[in-house]
Amino acid sequence: MEKIRSLLPQQPLAVLFDAYGTLLDVYSVGLLAEQLFPGHGSALSVMWRDKQIEYTRLVTTSNHGAHYQPFWELTRSGLRYACKRLKLDLTAEREAQLMNQYRHLSAFPENKAVLQALKDRGIVTGILSNGDPDMLGIAVRSAGLENLLDHVISVDAVRKYKTDPEAYALGEKATGLKASQIAFVSCNGWDALAATWYGYQTLWVNRYQLPFEELGTQPTRTGSTLTDVLGFFETA
């Protein structure tokens, strides 16, 4: 029994969450988008998000990061591209409205209860996000999570976005723990995969019932809500 137990993953000492898409609903901006562009809200929110992530990869991998821009600026550029692609009239006023809404994205309803449950267990908690510090600060306060997080970590510190290994290394630096001692939680399959490759224990929160990435590696765990992160911890 002891030998079998020793082969099991170590119970995490910290849990780090992705922010956008995991704690915060990036598609909630579609409600305002639908008001501004009737019939196009959903399509705009999806294309905006896809282009935002594409831009993070482009600026990280091109010319050794010489074209880095903060996440806020890439978010704005993604919005402008998506509106042009969908032939939507993005006036300065509409852009300001949508960008402000992105600062205050809806939080998933289980966030507070899950974070409180982790705190009650003495588990270190934090965010490890592509978001720049100002964005994350506003989002955390807007969601009422500031007292439930020990760390709010932005990749802006290294000017490289996930999935660059230097971005994931920030979690180890902030907590003083090895990646294998940390659970990383993301709703984004690509993020959960890269974090697994980096060495984290991982939970992929598959909110939308999607297949996982077909690259030969699976996350440590798969769930449907953030509550599934509690499965990492033995119940007394």
Known catalytic residues are 18
Q: Are 153 and 171 in contact (CB under 8 A)?
A: yes
Q: How far apart are CA 58 and CA 68, in angstroms?
A: 9
Q: How far apart are CA 172 and CA 195, in angstroms?
A: 12
What are phi and psi for residue 48, nearest 5 degrees? -60, -50
The number of CA neighbours under 13 Å toward the Cβ of 182 is 28
DSSP-derived 3-state class of residue 14: strand
Q: How far apart are CA 184 and CA 206, in angstroms?
A: 14
DSSP-derived 3-state class of residue 129: strand
- Closest to 143 in 3D by CA, of 184, 175, 111, 118: 111
Q: Are 170 and 59 in contact (CB under 8 A)?
A: no
